[in-house]
Amino acid sequence: MSGQIIGLQDWFETAPGQYLLAWEQAQFDQAVADIFGYHAIQLGLSSVEALRANRMPHRWLASADAVKPRRAALLTDFAALPFTANSLDLMVLPHTLELSPDPHATLREVERVLVPEGRVIICGLNPASLWGMRQRRAHLYRRMGFGELFLPEAGDFIGYWRMRDWLRLLSFEVESGRFGVYRPAVRSETWLERYRWLDTAGERWWPIFGAVYFLVAVKRVRGMRLLSADWRRASQRASAPVPIAGRVHREPHSHPPTSEGHGS
């Protein structure tokens, strides 16, 4: 796990890595700005500050790397988080699942620790993209004895629709989803700039082929009914005594005792 995360962080220092990181940072900033609560946590990848635009009072970065990043508040196994059930309001997973040795277990832990109606934000590399196709071709060439990978070798890319299926099985409801990063898989910053126009064209004409996807999902609990903010006042009103019009309370008549056998 350690080598996987470090490999991706090193890749973020390259020109295509910086391009991808800038897009993801903008998406996180927009997505977390209006999510409210008390506790939020980012699982892994300190290269992106996924919670910097959020206003919750308690925000942490967790790492699964043996060499804890400078900003990380805790070191933990993502498949066994040290939090009680239903205790976190927001979790962000930047490439966390594709780098996890057991992504299913990690996602189950996310579902366990999130409060009902809590949110999880996930971003991952899209295997059905120009970048994903170049990576698969590079793997083929390497088996033939030549070629160089474009993306980090570690990790198993999880497709967008496959990720949605996983979330649905855990009773998450996908609130929003989008793709981004449409420029071709080139290493040069100069060539990436020349293809800048593809970001607009790709988003319009072939949106599902972006190099990365971004999902926001809500934890739903079946049978749960959210109470409105004035539920206490409503309860008090319901239990208050109510006079009944037209009803008069009468004391029972008292009859004086009768005397028998009066003398004449």
The segments of the chain whose pLDDT lies below 50 read: 1-6, 248-249, 254, 259-264
pLDDT digit string, tens, across residues 1-28: 333 443 677 788 899 999 999 999 999 9
69-78 residues labelled b (16+ CB within 10 A) or e (exposed)? beebeeebbb
Give the E-state strand segments of 44-131 in sequence order. 58-63, 74-75, 88-94, 114-125
- Look at residue 12 in the predicted model and tell me its pLDDT: 86
Task: Write out pLDDT tens, residues 170-193.
Answer: 999 999 999 999 999 888 899 999
pLDDT given for residue 261 in this prediction: 47
Tell me 219's DSSP state. E
75 in Cβ contact with 110 (< 8 Å): no
d(CA 152, CA 8): 6
What pLDDT score does 85 carry? 96
pLDDT computed for residue 239 by the predictor? 58
Q: In this predicted structure, what is the pLDDT of residue 2?
A: 36
